[in-house]
Amino acid sequence: MSLPAVAVSQTPEERFREFLASRPKPQRFTDQQRDLVAHIFARHKHFDTDELLADLDRAKKNISRATVYRTLLKLVEAGLLRRIEIGVRTVYDHDYGYPQHEHLVCERCGTMIEFQHPAIDAALRQVAAEHNFRSDGHSLVVRGTCADCNAATSARRRLVM
Ligand SMILES: [Zn+2]
Ligand SMILES: [Zn+2]
């Protein structure tokens, strides 16, 4: 389940190449990095580093762990990915070509439900304005339990009673 994409003028690869070239010390866009960016942006998904590494392993992609770590940091810096902290876990989410959104996170099964709500945007705009603060974006995380986990819990309860 994902939100409708936002139209962008460049592909994530082009955008990242440009970012690397425009750094104070320009860097080369390596084949491993291109593979990694293509893999990450092939479909919308939230992932942590371990999941990504396992995924790359399954896909038989030969990208070193160090390259994965370094590239993730650069992708965040380039505005292509966004980091979301959920307790001790850090999850990456598409930022480029994807609308700003919030998350409901199930603490039992890890499901992340994306949503947008105009009233939240309006409230945050107002708060920022009151503080003369220029917002670059937001990503609310609401922790709790999802419908499936709630249903499982009440089914168990019915069984016990
Ligand atoms: Zn759940
Ligand atoms: Zn998301």
Which pair of structure tokens corresponds to residue 7? 């139209």
Architecture of domain 7-97: Orthogonal Bundle (1.10)
Cα-to-centroid distance, 100 and ligand 2 (Å): 8
- Residues, Cβ < 5 Å to ion ligand 1: 106, 108-109, 111, 146, 149
Q: Where does CATH 3.30.1490.190 sit in the chain?
A: 99-161
Structure letter (DSSP) for residue 112: E
- Residues, Cβ < 5 Å to ion ligand 2: 93, 114
Write down the pTM of the prediction: 0.85
Which residue's structure tokens are 């990456």?
A: 92
pLDDT recorded at residue 149 = 96
Tens of each residue's pLDDT in the chain, 161 residues: 678 888 888 999 999 999 999 999 999 999 999 999 999 999 888 999 999 999 999 999 889 999 999 999 999 999 999 999 888 889 999 999 999 999 999 999 989 999 999 999 999 999 999 999 999 888 899 999 999 999 998 888 877 66
Please state the CATH superfamily assignment of the domain spanning residues 99-161 in this structure.
Ferric-uptake regulator, C-terminal dimerisarion domain (3.30.1490.190)
Cα-to-centroid distance, 9 and ligand 1 (Å): 36
